[in-house]
C-alpha cells in the first residue's frame, strides 16, 4: 500500500480541501472588516479538478478529507460534490467545517450524499456577541444547524470555539455545559494571528487554552478520553456523566507539529504543506496545462501524484509561530481553509 511519508517520518493521511474563499460571515479573526478582494471565479478549483486530485491523493495513502472554505455551503453543487468524493475507493472519512448557517437546509442531504461528520464554528452563545464576532451572523440559525446535524447523524459533531480574551473567554463554562446533555465535542482553540488587523492586536486578545483548562479543573473533574476520530491536535476530556467531550487545541502555546498528519489544498489550487508557512505548490497550474482526454489521463495522474509528493517533501518539521512571534505570517484564513 502506498504511503506519503515526509522527511521527518510523519505519515500524511489527511487532506484539508478549501472549495471557496467566499463566506456569508466576516469573522473578526478570519476576514478584514475592510473591503475584501475575493479570488476570481475562474481561478477557483473546479469540483471535477478537486475530485481528480483527491483520487490520486487517496491512491498515495490519504484516507481522510475535510471540506472547508470560506463557508463551503455557499458553493453551489456541494451535495453532488460530496457524492462524487464518496465514490472514491479507500477514502474512509469525509467531513466538513461550517458556520452552520445553512446546515439545517443541508444536513440530511449531505448525510445521504456520504458526508460522515461536521465541525461547526461557534464562538459565542450570546446573540449580540455572536453578531459582533461574526459581523452579522445568526446564532439562532447556527443552533438550528447543530440540531439538524444531530438529527441527521453527522457524528461526532465537533464545535470549534476560538478563545479571544475580553470577548468570549467569560463563556467557557456555558460551552462546557453543552456537553452534559448532548453528544457534542466542544473544542477550545487558541486565537491565531492571520491578517494584518489580527496581528496588530494579537497579544492583548490571546489566551492560552492551558489557562482555561486550569480554571475548569478547579470546578470540574475532567477525565481524559479518546473519541473515534481523535487523531488530530485536540486532547479530549469528559465530565463524569456527560454525553459529550471537551477538547483543547494548543496551536501556539504547545505545538503539536510532531504528530501533524495533514496537508492542505487551497481554493485557488495550491498545496500548502503547513498552515503557518507561506510555502505552496501550484497544482492547478500544472494540471490546467493538460487537456482531460483519455490520452492525457495517465500524464495528469502522474503530475498530480508528483505535486502531492513535492508538497509532502516540503513539509517543515514544525512552525516557528509562538505567542511573541507572528512575523511574516499575515494571511487570509478563508482562502487556505484553516
Domain for residue 7, yes or no?
Answer: no
Please check the confidence at residue 195 and state whether its pLDDT lies above 90: no
Under the banding of pLDDT at 50, 70 and 90, the label for residue 192 is confident
User: Using one digit for the tens of pLDDT, what is the confidence trace for 242-256?
Assistant: 999 999 987 665 567
Q: Any idea what DSSP says for residue 189?
A: E
Q: Which residue did the predictor score with more confidence, 323 or 215?
A: 215
- Weakest mean pLDDT among 17-26, 64-73, 211-220, 326-335: 326-335
Domain for residue 283, yes or no?
Answer: yes
Under the banding of pLDDT at 50, 70 and 90, the label for residue 177 is very high
Domain for residue 97, yes or no?
Answer: yes
Mean pLDDT of the chain: 89
Domain for residue 259, yes or no?
Answer: yes
Please check the confidence at residue 327 and state whether its pLDDT lies above 60: no
Domain for residue 2, yes or no?
Answer: no
Q: For the chain, how many helices (H) and strands (E)?
A: 12, 14
Domain for residue 9, yes or no?
Answer: no
Rg (CA), the chain: 19
Q: Give the domain extent around 323.
A: 15-336
**Count of the separate structural domains present in the chain:** 1
3-state SS record for 115-160: CCEEEEECCCCCHHHHHHHHCCCCHHHHHHHHHHHHHHCCCCEEEE
Please check the confidence at residue 231 and state whether its pLDDT lies above 60: no
Looking at residues 22-48, what average pLDDT do you find?
Answer: 86
| C-beta of residue 178 within 8 angstroms of C-beta of residue 16 | no
Domain for residue 260, yes or no?
Answer: yes
Q: How far apart are CA 315 and CA 208, in angstroms?
A: 26
**pLDDT for the residue 291:** 76
Please check the confidence at residue 263 and state whether its pLDDT lies above 80: yes
Domain for residue 225, yes or no?
Answer: yes
**pLDDT for the residue 11:** 97
Q: Which residue did the predictor score with more confidence, 260 or 322?
A: 260
**pLDDT for the residue 257:** 85
Whichever domain contains 293, its CATH number is 3.20.20.70
* Cβ-Cβ contacts under 8 Å for 33 (sequence gap 6 or more): 26, 135, 197
- Weakest mean pLDDT among 152-156, 198-202, 308-312, 322-326: 322-326
- Weakest mean pLDDT among 124-138, 146-160, 218-232, 281-295: 218-232
User: Using one digit for the tens of pLDDT, what is the confidence trace for 272-321?
Assistant: 999 878 899 999 999 999 877 766 788 999 999 999 999 999 999 987 66
| C-beta of residue 312 within 8 angstroms of C-beta of residue 6 | yes
Amino acid at each position: 500500500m502506498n504511503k506519503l511519508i515526509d522527511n521527518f517520518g510523519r505519515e500524511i493521511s489527511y487532506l484539508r480541501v478549501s472549495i471557496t474563499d467566499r463566506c456569508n460571515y466576516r469573522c473578526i479573526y478570519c476576514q478584514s472588516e475592510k473591503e475584501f478582494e475575493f479570488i476570481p471565479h475562474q481561478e477557483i478549483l473546479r469540483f471535477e479538478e478537486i475530485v481528480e486530485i483527491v483520487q490520486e491523493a487517496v491512491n498515495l495513502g490519504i484516507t481522510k478529507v475535510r471540506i472547508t472554505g470560506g463557508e463551503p455551503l455557499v458553493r453551489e453543487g456541494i451535495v453532488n460534490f460530496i457524492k462524487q468524493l464518496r465514490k472514491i475507493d479507500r477514502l474512509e472519512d469525509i467531513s466538513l467545517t461550517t458556520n452552520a448557517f445553512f446546515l439545517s437546509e443541508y444536513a440530511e442531504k449531505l448525510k445521504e450524499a456520504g458526508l460522515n461528520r461536521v465541525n461547526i464554528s461557534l464562538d459565542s452563545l450570546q446573540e449580540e456577541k455572536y453578531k459582533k464576532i461574526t459581523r452579522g451572523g445568526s446564532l439562532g440559525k447556527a443552533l438550528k444547524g447543530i440540531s439538524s446535524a444531530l438529527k441527521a447523524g453527522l457524528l461526532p459533531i465537533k464545535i470549534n470555539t476560538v478563545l479571544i480574551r475580553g470577548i468570549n473567554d467569560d463563556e467557557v463554562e456555558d460551552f462546557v455545559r453543552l456537553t452534559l446533555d448532548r453528544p457534542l465535542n466542544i473544542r477550545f482553540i487558541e486565537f491565531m494571528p492571520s491578517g494584518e488587523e489580527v496581528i496588530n492586536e494579537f497579544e492583548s486578545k490571546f489566551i492560552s487554552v492551558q489557562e482555561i483548562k486550569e480554571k475548569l479543573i478547579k470546578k470540574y473533574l475532567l477525565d481524559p478520553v479518546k473519541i473515534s476520530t481523535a487523531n488530530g491536535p485536540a486532547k479530549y476530556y469528559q465530565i463524569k456523566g456527560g454525553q459529550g467531550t471537551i477538547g483543547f487545541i494548543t496551536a501556539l502555546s504547545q505545538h503539536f507539529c510532531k504528530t501533524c498528519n495533514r496537508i492542505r489544498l487551497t481554493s485557488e489550487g495550491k498545496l500548502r504543506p503547513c498552515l503557518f508557512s507561506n510555502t505552496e505548490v501550484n497544482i492547478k497550474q500544472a494540471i490546467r496545462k493538460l487537456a482531460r482526454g483519455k490520452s492525457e489521463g495517465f500524464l495528469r495522474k502522474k503530475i498530480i501524484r508528483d505535486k502531492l509528493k513535492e508538497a509532502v517533501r516540503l513539509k517543515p518539521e514544525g512552525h516557528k509561530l509562538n505567542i511573541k512571534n507572528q512575523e511574516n505570517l499575515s494571511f487570509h484564513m478563508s482562502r487556505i481553509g484553516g
